[in-house]
Amino acid sequence: MGTSTRRSRRLMALAAVAALTTGLLAGCSKDSDDSSSNDGGGNAKGKTTLTIGTFGVFGYKQAGLYDEYMKLHPDISIKENVTTRTDVYWPKVLTRLQAGSGTDDIQAIEVGNVTEAVQTQGSKFVDLGKDVDKSQWLDWKNAQATTKDGKLIGLGTDVGPMAICYRKDLFKKAGLETDRTKLAAQWKGDWAKYVDVGKEYMRKAPKGTKFVDSASSVYNAALGGGTERYYDKDGNVVWDKSDGVKKAWDVSMSVATSDMSAKLKQFDPTWDQGYAKGTFATVACPAWMIGYIEQKSGASGKGNWDVAAAPTASNWGGSFLGVPTAGKHQKEAVALAKWLTAPEQQAKVFAKQASFPSTPSAYSTLKPAADTLAYFSNAPITQIFADSAKTIPVQYFGIKDQPINTAITDVGILQVEQKGKSPTQGWDAAKNEVKDVLGQ
């Protein structure tokens, strides 16, 4: 396929990934309009106005945190500048960082962009490690936002610890184990064991159902639990030699070459319909997806969905708050960033929109809504996600991590799962696409 055609398709795929990531970090809440501004409460004369640039819905305004902070600090006024799409937000922030002007006092940084911020813009951010107790946050979360010389450029907001959400009614009809603890034990430690359960499910699968939504979702879940992705810790591209990529690819190929996948693209309308119709029995679900499943499955899913620990601890999603050195109110901005990302505030955001905290001390205080617990068969979801979050390995993201991932999932895996190509052909297709991404 010609380079121009691949590039065109890749750009469309990147836009889709950016939109997906925004929804992910927003806890699947409704986004506000592009480039809109929201005052948490007036901008009275004589007050110091702090601006905070975000994308999607971080939940701070929705949880009343801006109003609360301004009551505690009458001399401060907060203005949130929201950009819905990350593919618009981050390039704009980069331009302003490089210019040394025009940034907000606080800038949100998505996990897919934090490595670029660390490696190329570290000098443009205040070292927050000097002002906080870093032990409040998960070690691997801090590591993602730390420069080589030890500078912490961002304070962790949410994370996306993984579990397996499953339809226990479909499992029962297929003659499989339905108890969440016993089920998790069957696939513990190895995503290949999860695939084995899928093969068993398909032997007596209820008519019109598949074991999993897609091979790509299994790939991403498995990759999120590896110690190596597409770059090494020094920023070198190692995607085609990465042990994490190989293991995730192999398990996704086991799915793609079998009949256990519903072959649905996540967040497409057909995926939503799959939830509503109960056409797949399992999905790898980060914490923020709980609300999405409840919404899309509707009344028919209540009490039929359950949650079990994933084969390995894995992460999908998360962001940071950084303070640009170009800001006019650095001291006040640091204080606000510290407060917004403190355990108490992260717990309040979780209560509002299920964004899972990156601060372990908040985990014992988390209280999911009663109707959500009932919907998922009263599964101990906070404990399951907390156990995962605490053991997720440190992963290094590269500057082109997201487009490389899109090349593998939307080109390589798709070739096998939907077009009947061999795993070797799928890998070659992905390899050509990655070369295009890297300009090789």
User: What pLDDT score does 34 carry?
Assistant: 44
Does the pLDDT value for residue 181 go beyond 60?
yes
Does the pLDDT value for residue 284 go beyond 70?
yes
DSSP 106: E
Angstrom distance (rounded) from CA 14 to CA 387:
32
| DSSP secondary structure string for all residues of 360-404 | GGGGGG----HHHHHHTTT--HHHHHHHHHHHPPP----TTHHHH
pLDDT by residue (tens digit) across 208-229? 999 999 999 999 999 999 889 9
Angstrom distance (rounded) from CA 306 to CA 102:
47
Does the pLDDT value for residue 303 go beyond 80?
yes
User: What pLDDT score does 16 carry?
Assistant: 39
Confidence band of 12 (pLDDT split at 50, 70, 90): very low
Which whole number is the average pLDDT over 397-418?
A: 92
Label residue 9 exposed, middle or buried (CB < 10 Å: 0-12, 13-18, 19+).
middle
Angstrom distance (rounded) from CA 197 to CA 214:
15
User: What pLDDT score does 86 carry?
Assistant: 75
Confidence band of 106 (pLDDT split at 50, 70, 90): very high
pLDDT by residue (tens digit) across 24-48? 444 433 333 444 444 444 445 679 9
Confidence band of 57 (pLDDT split at 50, 70, 90): confident
Does the pLDDT value for residue 410 go beyond 80?
yes
Q: Could you count the other beta carbons within 10 Å of the beta carbon of residue 387?
A: 15
Angstrom distance (rounded) from CA 88 to CA 83:
7
Determine which of 68-77, 79-88, 177-186, 359-368 has the lowest per-residue pLDDT on average: 79-88
pLDDT by residue (tens digit) across 335-360? 999 999 999 999 999 988 889 999 99
Q: Average per-residue pLDDT in the chain?
A: 89
User: What pLDDT score does 306 carry?
Assistant: 98
Strand 48-55 to strand 76-83: parallel, antiparallel, or no bridges (unpaired)? parallel
Which whole number is the average pLDDT over 246-251?
A: 97
Which whole number is the average pLDDT over 83-90?
A: 84
User: What pLDDT score does 235 carry?
Assistant: 83
pLDDT by residue (tens digit) across 186-200? 999 999 999 999 999
Instruction: Report how far apart the first and last C-alpha atoms of the chain are (Å, whole number).
Output: 15
Alpha-carbon Rg of the chain, whole angstroms? 22
What percent of the chain has a predicted confidence (pLDDT) above 70? 90
